[in-house]
Amino acid sequence: MKVGKRLTAFFLAAILILTSNVTGFAEETTADQQPEEAKSTYLLTVDAEDSTVTVKGDHVEQKTASTYQIEVRSEVVASVVPADGKEIKEVRVNEEQMDLADGTVTFSMPEKDSLLQVILKEKEQAAEETEEPKQEVTQTEEWELPDEKEYQQRLQLAKALGMEDWLDEEGWLDDGYFAGKSDLELTESGVVPLIRNSITNPKMSRAVTLYNKITYNNISSAEFAVDGKLAFCLEYAKTTPPAGTATGTPTEITNSGVKAAMYYGYTGPAAAQYNFSSTSQAVLVTATLSSYYYSGQSPFSSATSGNAQSTGFTAFYNFVEAHKASVPSSFKAYAVSTGSNTQHLGYWTYAPTGTMYLTKTSANTAMTDNNSCYSLGNAVYGVYSNSACTTKVGTLTTGTNGVSNPISVNEGTYYRSAI
């Protein structure tokens, strides 16, 4: 009887164990067969002042000039080309320092919106100069031989962008590449480090609609000359006109923002009141702010975006907004058309005016005071713009108190002669 009970108990225990194992196996099988969750994407923002960053990968989609939508855990390859005179100190992703090899970092996209930061430092100078080996290249009259390291960096960027065929012998983009392209297109395409700053070339002569390309902080812009006057683009997103383009009849600009941007901007009459960091920055923020006020077009998503702040655009915009009312009425801004498909250009003229009057006094008051034979009134003088007194600009006639009528004249030197 005991044996039968033991067998029965053993049989029941075996059934329980088997049931437990089968249940567990079924649960594991069910878990293994659940469908894989769809992978999500996150935003990678690039903070890279004074450098160009090219971000690539099988699952990388560029959204703006500095943001990318990237699939989580996918491989990301970022290539960094620093500006002239700079070198890479470190590259960080979400504050974690990345391993850097030949200006490139590779990492897996984190499961969150992330920040890629490029930190630069001034390029170190050699401790002592050594004699350079002679080169077989003939130096041109206009340009110095390229720095080899910077030249290789430009080649590296051009290769990454597929632009090798457009480079000249010094690693700069050929002028032919700019045809039919706006500064906005050039900025967003990442080719700015390959553009030579022609504003630094002292041998560039002035001509009608002269076109000088300039770059600053990876933003492209330009300066022009219209009838010998310095001019800026007013429609940033439109194609830039090449040198020699015919211009239309000038139209006066009444927009106070455009006038103030030119008045306080690069080479403006009041440029000394604002502290620009460099000539390139002065040209860039003057041109882009003039375009922003004139047409609403600029390389920035807003006047206070990250890129706008890093280039100095925001600070200059705030300054101009606070000083628009101080621009004198004698300062005039004009726009000219360069064709239906190319942008308008803007320039300014300024003829500051002043008030001139004359006071006649007696050299011997003891003799002339209360003496009807002498009078301070009705003395007539001609005012001339040349020392020969042949180019008359006005007449001054004294009253009985010796003070003449006022006349308005442009700023300058004048000469008087009694009439």
Q: What is the CA radius of gyration of the chain?
A: 36
Q: Let me know: does 197 contact 83? Beta carbons within 8 Å.
A: no
Quick check: is 174 in a domain?
no
Strand order in the sheet with 380-384: 392-397, 380-384, 415-418
What pLDDT is recorded for position 392? 92
pLDDT band, residue 252 (cuts 50/70/90): very high
| CA 197 centroid distance within chain | 13
Does residue 195 form part of some domain? Answer: no
The per-residue pLDDT for 374 is 84
310 and 359 part of one domain: no
Average pLDDT of the residues in 84-91: 86
Mean pLDDT throughout 289-316?
A: 89
Q: Please indicate, yes or no, if residue 336 is contained in any of the structural domains.
A: yes
Number of domains in the chain: 3
Q: Which two tokens stand for residue 370?
A: 């209360």
Q: Which two tokens stand for residue 384?
A: 């001339």
| Co-location of 387 and 285 in the same domain | no
Average model confidence (pLDDT) across the chain: 77
Model confidence band, residue 188 (pLDDT cutoffs 50, 70, 90): low
**Domain identity same for 316 and 215:** yes
What pLDDT shows up at residue 84? Answer: 77
Domain edge (last residue) among 350, 380, 403: 350
Contacts for 283 with CB less than 8 Å, ≥ 6 apart: 199, 214, 216, 221, 223, 232, 266
Look at residues 86, 121, 156 and tell me which one is the last residue of a structural domain: 121
Phi, psi values for residue 108, rounded to 5°: -95, 135
Structural domain containing residue 222: 201-350
**What pLDDT score was predicted for residue 192?**
62
| Per-residue model confidence as pLDDT tens digits over 16-37 | 443 444 344 334 434 344 444 5
Kindly state whether residue 362 falls inside one of the protein's structural domains. yes
With a pLDDT cut of 70, the percent of the chain lying above it is 75
To the nearest 10°, report the CA torsion of 384, 385, 390, 391.
Answer: -100
Looking at the fold, whether 292 and 324 belong to one and the same domain comes out as yes
| Mean of pLDDT values over 103-130 | 79
